Amino acid sequence: MRKYWPAVLLVAAAIAPSRLTAQAAQAGEPRAAAVADAAVGTAIADRQLTGAAETFKADVGKLYCFSKIENAADSDVEHVWYKGDTEMGRVKLHVGGSPWRTHSSKNLGENPAGDWRCDVVQDGKVIKSVAFKVE
């Protein structure tokens, strides 16, 4: 039995940090801040954004905001669409893991010309904002 003790100690040392991390998360310690990367484009194809740009023609009709979110597993985020300072739409999205990719779309309406943005929001805080123009 004595010759197995070093192996037992190694296994215990390897398991202890992961158990401590899990216990810390359960204890309510703050997790790392969520991080997002986002872009706006004209379509989603094969789970990727296509037609990404900063300027779109007024006849585009519909745009998509595609975001990759980290450090937000098992939580919710929102894509909040704005034309100027006016909120035009809000979409709640569940984040199932980390990293997690998700998207929303916005029908731009009859008079879409102007400055737009889509904010990625978690718990009331903007974690990413994508500005674009419709001409």
Tell whether the torsion through CA atoms of 92, 103, 79 and 27 is positive or negative: positive
Residues 3 and 44 grouped into a single domain: no
Residues 21 and 66 grouped into a single domain: no
Q: What does the block give as tokens for 69?
A: 């979110």
Residues 13 and 45 grouped into a single domain: no
Residues 78 and 100 grouped into a single domain: yes
4 pLDDT above the threshold of 90 = no
Which residue has 């192996």 as its token pair?
7
Mean predicted confidence (pLDDT) in 67-76? 96
Give Cα separations from 38 to 5, 6, 59, 79, 118 (angstroms): 51, 49, 23, 10, 9
Residues 54 and 5 grouped into a single domain: no
Residues 11 and 59 grouped into a single domain: no
Rounded to 5 degrees, φ, ψ at 84 are 65, -125
CATH number at residue 68: 2.60.40.1930
Residues 7 and 71 grouped into a single domain: no
Please tell me the pTM assigned to this model: 0.76
CA-to-CA distance for 3 and 7, rounded, in angstroms? 8
Residues 39 and 26 grouped into a single domain: no
Domain span at residue 120 reads: 35-134
pLDDT digits (tens, 9 = 90+) for 32-62: 789 999 999 999 999 999 999 999 999 999 9
Residues 96 and 41 grouped into a single domain: yes
20 pLDDT above the threshold of 80 = no
CA-to-CA distance for 95 and 89, rounded, in angstroms? 19
Mean predicted confidence (pLDDT) in 80-100? 97
pLDDT recorded at residue 104: 98
